[in-house]
Structure 1
Amino acid sequence: MYAPTDVALIIESALGVDMRLVVAIGWIMIFQTFSTQSEHQPPGGVIAGIVVRAGTGEPIAGARVLAQPTTPPRPTPGGAAPVAPSMPPAVTTDGQGRFAFKDLHASPYRLFIFADGYVRHEYVPADQTLQNVRVLLTPAGNVSGNIRDLDGKPLAGVPVQILKPVYNFLGDQTLQSAGAAVTDDRGEYRVYWVTPGRYYVLAGSAISARRAAIPGIASPNEVPGHSVLPTYYPNATDLSGATPIAIQTGADLNNIDFVLERQQARRIRGRVVDAATGKWPPVATVRLVTRSAIGGTSARESLQSYNPVDGTFDVRDVPPGPHQIVVEVRSPGAPGPPVTPPIVPAGAGQAGSITFGGSRALVTAAAQIQVQVGNEDVDNLVVTIGAAGSLPGRLIIEGASTVSGADRLRVQLTPLLAGAMQGPVPVPANPGGTFTIDNVLPGDYRVQVAGLQADFYLKEARFGSQDVLNKPLNFSQSGPASLDVIIGTGFSRIEGTVIDERSQPVRSVAAILVPDQLRGRPDLFRNVTTDQSGRFRMEGIAPGDYKAFAWETLEPFSYYDPDFVRRYEQHGHPVKVSESSNQIIQVQLIRSGQ
């Protein structure tokens, strides 16, 4: 069974949205199913306090407070399901902002506090008996604006998103929605109760040209078939040209306006050419793949889009914005390899495994090309497909010819653009260390190794003379001949304790190890949770210079953000790791707001 924080990481990684609130409520329901289970220790603990507005100290009435026990489920005799600590009922603050939980079972607790118009807050009391908890809630902010066309007329039904740059479990930067709205008949929008911070504003969507005509939400009389080019504030089609906005605590940010051009859905027309023959393939599937700003993907394909007589294709009803054209030649009746999820790097902590369902026919040749659709059709696009090939290689384990656990290692090529292209099946090495990865389509891949145990680390990967551990592997039939993957076996370990300002151990917080260099490598990071004594252990660490951190509260995977880590660099504990080293350290807790 996963801990609640584990489940939160799974959902956040898979969906790329902030689901911690949903997870917390889901776990409340799970814990409450155990409420009839008796505890060995009698209840008696009390957590009581007050919820106030940050900055003024004004009491907040009507706030909702949840208390979640963080003790793992206890094993039970006879192999029965573990018993989770019972969940106390939620409470609401009174007119003076006060709350109290009574008769709590012995366990550390995590409090979740919610109030309309405020940023939700998490608080970790030091014990199950605490009488004077003071919780500060930060007032949220609001954003509003107006969207008009080039003639000054209001644009109705345009989706607007408030976007925050975040990192996913693979260490890739993406955008997370912090709020959304749709313009009304006056072209006005308002996004309310947004957590203060720096954001980007995006008007329009390449996936959905306009909102769905849901009765009571959108008018069925809206004109269909037109849209706007997805545009970042103030007037950029790409994030690199956007200007971030700053949402202040409890403030209204007005006049975030756009002037956009009405655009009709367009067509993408072109021709498919086989790189091996210079001719068009007799059969091909053309797929339009569109990614939203927050990581979602929409794909549609049609056999009717491709004309086998002359190799041309015509994709209709394409909304403006960035897209990909993916062309595949499939082998009828031959099953393709299973869709292999990317390996969860050590830096993601207990993120669990991400699975992808579905199977598809074997793809024998393919290509993908980026297309930007604007106010005109895209014509004369040439897509050159390349055949799938085989990639030979060697898996080298340093320091020994036979090592326990080497038979569990699998070399994996993960497409950089997951879901757009078929990825090959991970393969083991032969007794001599050689391997062959079949059905590798032309494209860019991330080199990974599955099955690394505590005393292994990925030391080097070279494609011919190219470094493909720190850079993507670009596969083509004319590329280098083989892939060499080197595994280091020098067992390195860091043990330590997270302490607070009183030098007391802190339990149930994440201890994060961040490399000084190569911060684009999530496999070099470590993320572990302290036990009930505040202790942690990290293993299988590659030699190098690191810093260890422990934040009281931390947005998922924010430690992958170099700018975020740079702000706390002086609070990190320096660690120099060499092969076969064993170190014991103390890490100072970084308090919220510090």
Structure 2
Amino acid sequence: MRTLLICLLLGVLTGQQPVLGQVGGLPQAPPRDVRAEPASRVQVQALLLRAGAQPTPSSSAATDDRGEFRLFHLTPGDYIVMAMTPNNIVGPEVEGEAIGFASSYSPGVPTMAEAARVRIGPASQATADIRLIETRVHTLNGTVVTASGEPARGGNVSLIARESPLGPMFATGLSGTGTFSLRNVPPGSYELIARHQAPRPAGALSTAPASAQEFGRQPVEVVAHTEVLLPLTLGAVVQGEAVFDETPPAGTRVNVTPTTLDPRNLTGVPSVEVTGSQFTLRGAFGPLLLRANASGGAAAWALKAVLLRGHDITDEPTVLTASDSGHLQVVFTSKAPALEGVVTGQNGQPSNDATIVIFAHDPKAWTPRSSFTRLADVDKDGKFTVRGLREGRYYAAAVPIDVMTNVVQPTAEILESLSGVATAFTLNAGESRSVDLRLVLFER
């Protein structure tokens, strides 16, 4: 069995200097397996770890013929390093099946959860090894059909590992007969996703509205050469309305923003049309969260809730269908509570070296993109003000700024740890509450 060894050197240098890396033969790198071969033309990707978010693709590069690469402009933080499946390296067939290499994470493990962390500090360097091990590779063939049962002519398909949505992805376009072929796919559990938009009729103006998009996704087990049929469905058209707790002034503008928890957003989000207090989502597919804001007049409007048939779905990813039209509401209030206060350090003096973390008292609300979780800065005098909060019971904590570096939204694990040292309080409608906080000693 052949092993390909990737020795990685990462660093953050001052000025415009690049980050240098090399595959094989690296000074000060760990001893290399004598059977390992330098791997050329392999894509290496650094993924930045951010609490409350999926790992973020950062700098990437392909190894050259000598197995060397350069990575530019990495910001300080914790990373994992991934070597993409090298489709260009395929060995001889064994029992009629091709042999290739599976994507791997440092130091040579198959999943992101097992990957070693690499910490990059300002003006620092770090090394990591990745070993690619031979595996059987297969071909996934398939046909995509539209909602009307016709072959999907045009569009694309993507295949992503189910356990690691930001891991390696295989992608290709659809043929004129709706077929596709993905080659050199290692065995595993995947999600197959297709997206298709019919072309405009012949002679239609380029400014004419595009036809509705169709989407499809299904799990696929790749254990041998596989044939699949993937049917598409039309993205839903859903109508809703904005509701205010008091009559808004003329000219109040409403904005509705759909979001998805899919880190790659392969199915996209629906387009939004707003007319007065009415809005229409076009192309809704898969679980969505809705966020909204309103502006106009002297009142400061804030989102109070998103309701579907009277049920609060503000923080519940929901699959919306055409039957939901007329039952979807975004509710605004001019009486959203606010929180203000002063942060003091361990010496009892005001401190501006803090990030304010506000989160729900109920652990059930510690979900991704929760509307109850907010991060806020303090001013030079240690003061903070956070407006537009929702009513309810909360925790608040002031933590050192560097603890929240690269944090998009704190994870449930971080919030659980903070709840033991945070200050509890309740916010009621129209209330502006003052809560002073002591900077806590906390490490995530």
- Same fold per superposition (TM over 0.5): yes
Provide the C-alpha distance between the structure 2 equivalents of 1:440 and 1:196, rounded to a whole number of angstroms.
Answer: 39
Change (3 A) 1:166 1:468: same
Aligned-partner SS, 2:271: coil
What does the per-residue CA deviation read over 1:209-239, in whole Å, with 9 as the maximum and x for residues that have no partner?
A: 469xxxxxxxxxxxxx974222457886544
Contact in 2 for aligned 1:263/1:375 (Cα 8 Å): no
Equivalent in 305, 314, 333 of residue 469 of structure 1 = 314
Equivalent in 210, 230, 239 of residue 383 of structure 1 = 230
Q: CA deviation at 1:368?
A: 3.1
Q: CA deviation at 1:281?
A: 4.2
RMSD: 4.9
Name the structure 1 match of 2:84. 205
Provide the C-alpha distance between the structure 2 equivalents of 1:452 and 1:514, rounded to a whole number of angstroms.
Answer: 25
Q: CA deviation at 1:282?
A: 6.6
Name the structure 2 match of 1:260. 133
- Does structure 1 residue 156 correspond to structure 2 residue 156? no
Equivalent in 15, 31, 50 of residue 166 of structure 1 = 50
Contact in 2 for aligned 1:147/1:188 (Cα 8 Å): no
Provide the C-alpha distance between the structure 2 equivalents of 1:182 and 1:144, rounded to a whole number of angstroms.
Answer: 19
Equivalent in 410, 434, 438 of residue 584 of structure 1 = 434
Q: CA deviation at 1:581?
A: 1.0
Aligned-partner SS, 1:566: helix
Provide the C-alpha distance between the structure 2 equivalents of 1:195 and 1:419, rounded to a whole number of angstroms.
Answer: 24
- Does structure 1 residue 502 correspond to structure 2 residue 370? no
More RCO (CA 8 Å, sep 6+): 2
Equivalent in 190, 193, 196 of residue 328 of structure 1 = 196
Q: CA deviation at 1:363?
A: 4.5
- Does structure 1 residue 426 correspond to structure 2 residue 272? yes
Aligned-partner SS, 1:458: strand
Change (3 A) 1:423 1:589: same
Name the structure 2 match of 1:393. 240
Name the structure 2 match of 1:286. 156
Contact in 2 for aligned 1:459/1:542 (Cα 8 Å): yes
Change (3 A) 1:470 1:590: same
Q: CA deviation at 1:326?
A: 1.6
Contact in 1 for aligned 2:172/2:180 (Cα 8 Å): no
**How many pairs does the alignment contain?**
395
Contact in 1 for aligned 2:256/2:272 (Cα 8 Å): yes
For residues 559-574 of structure 1, what are the structure 2 equivalents within 5 Å? 560-574=410-424
Aligned-partner SS, 2:436: strand
Amino acid at match of 1:205: M
- Does structure 1 residue 575 correspond to structure 2 residue 417? no
Change (3 A) 1:376 1:272: same
Provide the C-alpha distance between the structure 2 equivalents of 1:383 and 1:147, rounded to a whole number of angstroms.
Answer: 43
Equivalent in 224, 229, 234 of residue 102 of structure 2 = 229
Which structure is higher in strand share? 2
Tell me the TM-score normalized by structure 2: 0.68
Change (3 A) 1:422 1:514: closer
Change (3 A) 1:326 1:179: closer
Deviates more, 1:579-588 or 1:469-478: 469-478
- Structure 1 unaligned spans of 5+: 1-20, 27-141, 212-224, 338-360
Amino acid at match of 1:423: V
Change (3 A) 1:331 1:416: farther
Contact in 1 for aligned 2:80/2:106 (Cα 8 Å): yes
Contact in 2 for aligned 1:163/1:176 (Cα 8 Å): yes
Name the structure 1 match of 2:146. 274
Provide the C-alpha distance between the structure 2 equivalents of 1:367 and 1:336, rounded to a whole number of angstroms.
Answer: 23
Name the structure 2 match of 1:31. none
Amino acid at match of 1:314: F
Deviates more, 1:522-531 or 1:175-184: 175-184
Amino acid at match of 1:529: D
Q: CA deviation at 1:447?
A: 1.2
Name the structure 1 match of 2:394. 546
- Does structure 1 residue 306 correspond to structure 2 residue 175? yes
Name the structure 1 match of 2:20. none
Which structure is higher in helix share? 1
Provide the C-alpha distance between the structure 2 equivalents of 1:299 and 1:257, rounded to a whole number of angstroms.
Answer: 21
- Does structure 1 residue 486 correspond to structure 2 residue 331? yes
Provide the C-alpha distance between the structure 2 equivalents of 1:587 and 1:409, rounded to a whole number of angstroms.
Answer: 35
Contact in 2 for aligned 1:365/1:385 (Cα 8 Å): no
Provide the C-alpha distance between the structure 2 equivalents of 1:484 and 1:382, rounded to a whole number of angstroms.
Answer: 37
Provide the C-alpha distance between the structure 2 equivalents of 1:262 and 1:586, rounded to a whole number of angstroms.
Answer: 58
Q: CA deviation at 1:579?
A: 1.0
Contact in 2 for aligned 1:336/1:363 (Cα 8 Å): no
Name the structure 2 match of 1:532. 380
Provide the C-alpha distance between the structure 1 equivalents of 2:249 and 2:29, rounded to a whole number of angstroms.
Answer: 58
Contact in 2 for aligned 1:367/1:383 (Cα 8 Å): no
Provide the C-alpha distance between the structure 1 equivalents of 2:427 and 2:140, rounded to a whole number of angstroms.
Answer: 53
Identity of aligned residues (%): 16
Amino acid at match of 2:392: G
What does the per-residue CA deviation read over 1:273-325, in whole Å, with 9 as the maximum and x for residues that have no partner?
A: 333x4x214734234366997959978654xx3243xxx40234465475643
Provide the C-alpha distance between the structure 2 equivalents of 1:489 and 1:147, rounded to a whole number of angstroms.
Answer: 66
Aligned-partner SS, 2:406: coil
Tell me the TM-score normalized by structure 1: 0.53
Q: CA deviation at 1:364?
A: 1.6
Provide the C-alpha distance between the structure 1 equivalents of 2:152 and 2:412, rounded to a whole number of angstroms.
Answer: 49
Q: CA deviation at 1:530?
A: 1.9
Change (3 A) 1:246 1:364: closer
Aligned-partner SS, 2:349: coil
Q: CA deviation at 1:538?
A: 0.9
Provide the C-alpha distance between the structure 2 equivalents of 1:297 and 1:387, rounded to a whole number of angstroms.
Answer: 27
Name the structure 1 match of 2:24. none
Contact in 1 for aligned 2:343/2:438 (Cα 8 Å): yes
CA radius of gyration, larger in: 1
For residues 410-421 of structure 1, what are the structure 2 equivalents within 5 Å? 410-417=255-262, 419-421=265-267
Amino acid at match of 2:145: V
Aligned-partner SS, 1:331: coil
Aligned-partner SS, 1:362: coil
Change (3 A) 1:394 1:558: closer
Q: CA deviation at 1:560?
A: 1.4
Deviates more, 1:456-465 or 1:226-235: 226-235
What does the per-residue CA deviation read over 1:318-353, in whole Å, with 9 as the maximum and x for residues that have no partner?
A: 65475643230323257699xxxxxxxxxxxxxxxx
Aligned-partner SS, 1:523: coil
Equivalent in 297, 303, 308 of residue 458 of structure 1 = 303
What does the per-residue CA deviation read over 1:467-512, in whole Å, with 9 as the maximum and x for residues that have no partner?
A: 5322212134566763122223323121211111222222364333
- Structure 2 unaligned spans of 5+: 1-11, 17-27, 90-97
Provide the C-alpha distance between the structure 1 equivalents of 2:248 and 2:135, rounded to a whole number of angstroms.
Answer: 64
What does the per-residue CA deviation read over 1:218-275, in whole Å, with 9 as the maximum and x for residues that have no partner?
A: xxxxxxx9742224578865446x376798x99x999x785722455x5432222333
Deviates more, 1:484-493 or 1:153-162: 153-162
